[in-house]
Amino acid sequence: QTVLEALSTLLEWTGLFVLFLAANLVLGLLFILAIRGFTPRFVSVYELESHFLLVLSGVQACVFLLCWNRT
C-alpha cells in the first residue's frame, strides 16, 4: 500500500509540475511580448529556455503539494 501511495504522490507532483511549467512559460512569454511592445528593446523568446524555469516549476509544485496535503 505504501508503494501505491508513493506512486500517487509522484503522479500528483508530476501533474502539478507540468501545470506550473506551462503557466510559467505563458507568463514569461507574455512578459517578453510586453517588453517588446512597450520598449524599443528586443528580448528573445529563447530567454525562456533556462534550467532555472524547470527548477522553479519543480519547487512550486512541491510547495503546493505540501501545503495542499497539510490541510
pLDDT-derived band at 3 (thresholds 50, 70, 90) equals very high
32 — phi, psi (to 5°)?
-65, -40
pLDDT of 71 reads 67
pLDDT of 69 reads 83
- From the list 29, 31, 19, 28, the residue with the least C-alpha distance to 57 is 19
CA angle 37, 43, 49 (to 5 degrees): 130
Residues 35-54 have pLDDT tens digits of 999 999 998 999 889 899 99
